[in-house]
Structure 1
């Protein structure tokens, strides 16, 4: 009899244990709650965890943008807020034999409580990428995620932790005051990061062996040998000795740096605060300035230039002075010009040089012109001296 009772008790306990793992074929299941709002809702430590919680609605591809409301946010001057957060993954789908293939997935980590708002998102599959924004809907300010205008997506689902969540799809026309949320919280990975595009062999690596120099960014294309590109702070074992313990940008192939449309390329150093004048500017009109922000010539230098040699090309030169048809000014006319203008003919005055500067090539041509004119004057004077000598010798006989 006792053996029979033990056997019956074991069968009863086994039936109970089996029943605890049997869920209904329809409806929601709750663990720690009697009113689950998703297929599976688990409440523990006062927190709600949802599995595949449906979010009703779909986007409208006839409007400029759609948004999914996450939760209300704290607004400066308002009463302190209870905890509102969404921490998990939201996804939506579209695609069949008769409809465009689109998948939308966002990892959300946002919260509003007391008197502040924090959060960030990681998105997949969509371009342009979704944005974390604040907006006003029905007179309440929310944190929301933008959904780019494209083929309609539906069957929204959330899996993760949430408290005082909103989870509503709204259209651009239904909201106002949309602003990009300043996601100041970081997304960190405590390990070397490698991103590889298998199809194109592009590789992006952020890593360093020396913890003192941990901001090294390395990019390469394995299809092209020696195509490495480095950005970061070098350590003492860096392959170029002159660049040790310095920040660098280095390419093992041609390095192209460009600014599109009307942008300039600006180099600066010596920053101490928030403002600094540029050290060098390559303007969009191809002018280059050193020590000046708005160069007006192909090369504008605000300072002294040192060089071993300077070569200036010229379209004309002063040898026309020696041509037979050149009208050499008389010394009397030159003397009169100097008395009147206080500088040589054809040579710019002090005022012109002070106001406009000088063209090195042009001024050297003018200097040569004067030297050649002086040479002709000297040759003419020598002829006159020789004639006087001959005349004196003739008279002496």
Structure 2
């Protein structure tokens, strides 16, 4: 009986002490640690609040409000996780030189190979869907739960006009590099501008597909206001499909390089037809669009020197033993019958087929060497005649002397 009285006294003392700091007034406001609650639930004091799922759980409960003197943090645990290894969302604050910071934290670290992510969900009225995630590496994913870069968006991104996508830090307060859309410049609201080097807007892609470099008003698919350099790098080239080409323009003259037909490439001038053409078979024509050889020129050629590789042997064979050198009588007969030298094409043939310089020069050299042989033969004959003439002259003088002696007697 005495023991029961002592226990009851102790219990009433505890209730009385607790009731001094907690109240449940008729207004409906609840005070914990205060008898004058100023809201529906007013908790004061330096003790945290730990709401656990059940009494047999160990560690932190589903909701923990921390000690204000220790940062006044709030921790919401995941009810499906083992509460011995608490994991959940933590909210606290910090202050640094008039700068208040609200910290939103994803907890879940027990071992070194454990990690946590922070996921944001929205509802379509029937189910929850993940809209954004920040993973353990600090990568932010929108529309994806596995971002592999600092920002990965699986979907469209919309920016208002004149708003920019900026790169790197600023230089003296100015933008270093950015991308923006036009905002009505010249009535254009749909083009894209690229800026580099302290905000220098150096390239534009117009809404008609034209690209301008160092110009804001490209008139062609690629318009470069300045020089362009293409360096060799594993076969670097400019490729042009269709019959379009490269064209230069001035006040009154222009030059174009374009595909003419099939595999032909032509160079032309505004006031003339195509003056230069590379034919598909590797043939080049100047003044003609139908070259019939590696180089066909419709007109005169002015050059300091022309070198021709021979396709026929040189005519030194004329001086060989046994060469069939026609007699002058035979040559005369051939000329009388054909109207041209032997082994030389007629004028009609040359007019119809043209003259191959290498072959013709060798034929002419052959005739010169034959003429040399004729000249040598004539020289021999002349010397022989001169010798005979000297003999006849000597005889004539002797006869004259004899005749003079006879007359004298």
TM-score by length of 2: 0.38
Larger strand percent? 1
Larger Rg computed on CA atoms: 2
If asked which structure has higher relative contact order (CA below 8 Å, sep 6+), I would say 1
TM-score by length of 1: 0.39
